[in-house]
Amino acid sequence: MKYDISRRGALKAGGALVAASAIAPQLLQAQPSRGGDLKVGASGANTSDSWDARTHSDLFMQMACMGSVFDCLTEVAADGTLIGELAESWEPGSAEGDVWIFNLRQGVTFHNGKDFGPEDVIESLQLHVAEGAKSAAKPIVEQISNMEITGPNQVTLTLKGGNAGFPTMLADYHIVMYPAGMIKDAMLNGIGTGLFKVETFDPGVRFLGSRVEGHYKDGRAGWFNSIEMIAINDGTARMNALLTGQVDVINRIDVKTESLLKANPNIEIFEVTGNQHYTFPMLTNIAPFDDINVRKALKYSIDRQEMVDKILRGHGRVSYDNPIGPANTYFHDGLEPLTYDPDKAKFHLKQAGMDSLDVDLSTSDAAFVGAVDAAQLYQATAKAANININVVQEAADGYWSNVWLKKPWCACYWSGRSTEDWTFSTAYELGVPWNDTHWDNARFQELLLLGRKEIDPDKAREIYYEMQTLISQEGGTIVPMYANYVDAASTKLAHGPDLGNVYQMDTARIGERWWMA
């Protein structure tokens, strides 16, 4: 079942339409066919990777877990609509949207032969709110006040408050379904309900999955006989792997060397506009970032257009410190511009009682392609505002566990999410695990709860516009640019007319959705 993106009507789930450009006609093929083995060169792998989806934070395990071995209850389709994955259908159990009834797909089995049922849903959801759990999906599951099995193939979730877009949030890649009573084993060995079962998994190095026969997605997804993912965190090495035929597709091409790929007739670049944004989050509970005038000085000391021109090379657009992107329903495209203005930056420094500022900025190209160069550009433009940025180049390996959320100011990237509430609940709700600024604004938190339950589109727009204004003017994240997803593939691959834009690589589902041309 597909659900409209609109919040109108019976509390239908929100989503973002795909806006794809520069998709090679050679890669478009209407009729998929079964066969072939897919080889992927992907970034974001770590030696600490596991099948515990609660810990996942980057592409490699997104693709291996949610995109191959496991399933969620819902899925954001390539065209941006919300469809059922392990949930066949759902409906609100109240006019306020604080009760949701999920009818589960029948005849689904885990890779160990266990039948999928409502008890698996309950135990899988409880993982995220278990004592001591450090799950990025905790703010989603914490909204549930009661989980109840209301039929042999039905689960009813009662929320603490209304949430019109809650079914969409259950498509989060952290919230995959595990077999009840066997979760420890499933996390150790990768036992899911996905199209591919684990043959080999070497954390931070390689994943190989073979196609499951007799799968509930037969005829609509899962065209390859196998998927092999090779961890290639270095951008140049990924490009060379594609050029030499070692892999069929790579993510995150370095746009500085894009011409080398374009010159090869057997390689095509595919570019998708979503909500991905590159950021420099600062911990606002630590000096000097606890002073709003210091934050404002940093906002006016960066040349955003220069970043788009030199780092993205036009593959994106300027952002005014707004994490809500152009593919979101309530994107505020009329925010007051935060243009480069060293004099304004100096003014705000004086308001903070400073004539100059010396500050460290931790960065690595693990954060995003060109992150080190971006930090150095920032360093250069900030000098005119008497701000001395010391660019600290951190090790790529372990960046997300050792630097992000720990160093006071660092480079980061976010894929964004299909709905505004999903984005804000994941990264800006006070106290959630992935809040990388600790920004505390009472009005913002009040609006977050109001927007979550609002079903009137005009009222929702008003709420989310105010939230975007607050975060742009007062928040603790510098968001200089929205970056398109720019990946590359061999022309021997094909896909449908739409590409998912929630995450990289067709929303991390290339293994399911693509096929051999």
Q: For residue range 263-283, list pLDDT tens digits in order.
A: 999 999 999 999 999 999 999
Mean predicted confidence (pLDDT) in 404-420: 96
Give residue 4's pLDDT. 42
User: pLDDT of 320-378, one tens digit each?
Assistant: 999 999 999 999 999 999 999 999 999 999 999 999 999 999 999 999 999 999 999 99
**Long-range CB contact pairs, 86-89, < 8 A, 24+:** 86/116, 86/121, 86/177, 86/193, 87/167, 87/170, 88/1, 89/1
Cα dihedral across residues 89, 220, 510, 489: positive or negative: negative
Instruction: Report yes or no: 76 and 247 within 8 Å, Cβ to Cβ.
Output: no
Give residue 327's pLDDT. 94
Mean predicted confidence (pLDDT) in 202-229: 98
Mean predicted confidence (pLDDT) in 448-466: 95
- Burial tier of 373 (Cβ tally within 10 Å: 0-12, 13-18, 19+): middle
493: region left, alpha or beta (phi > 0 left; psi from -120 to 50 alpha): beta
- Nearest alpha-carbon partner for 67 in 239, 229, 237, 179: 229
- Nearest alpha-carbon partner for 2 in 118, 115, 81, 67: 81
259-285 CB burial, b ≥16 within 10 A, e <16: eebeeeeebbbbbbbbbbbbbbbbbbe
Structure tokens, 507 = 């929303």
Mean predicted confidence (pLDDT) in 469-493: 98
User: pLDDT of 276-321, one tens digit each?
Assistant: 999 999 999 999 999 999 999 999 999 999 999 999 999 999 999 9
Give residue 393's pLDDT. 98
Taking the CA atoms of residue 229, residue 231, residue 235 and residue 238 in that order, the dihedral angle to the nearest 10 degrees is -40
Give residue 397's pLDDT. 85
Q: Please compute, for residue 486, the number of CA atoms within 13 A of its CA located in the half-sphere on the CB side.
A: 24
Phi, psi of 162 (to 5 degrees): -65, 145
User: pLDDT of 86-107, one tens digit each?
Assistant: 999 999 999 999 999 999 999 9
Which domains does the chain show, CATH number per domain?
A: 2-272+485-516 (3.40.190.10), 277-483 (3.10.105.10)
Mean predicted confidence (pLDDT) in 124-152: 96
**pLDDT at residue 5 is higher than 60:** no
Give residue 224's pLDDT. 99
**pLDDT at residue 19 is higher than 90:** no
- Angstrom distance (rounded) from CA 248 to CA 271: 16
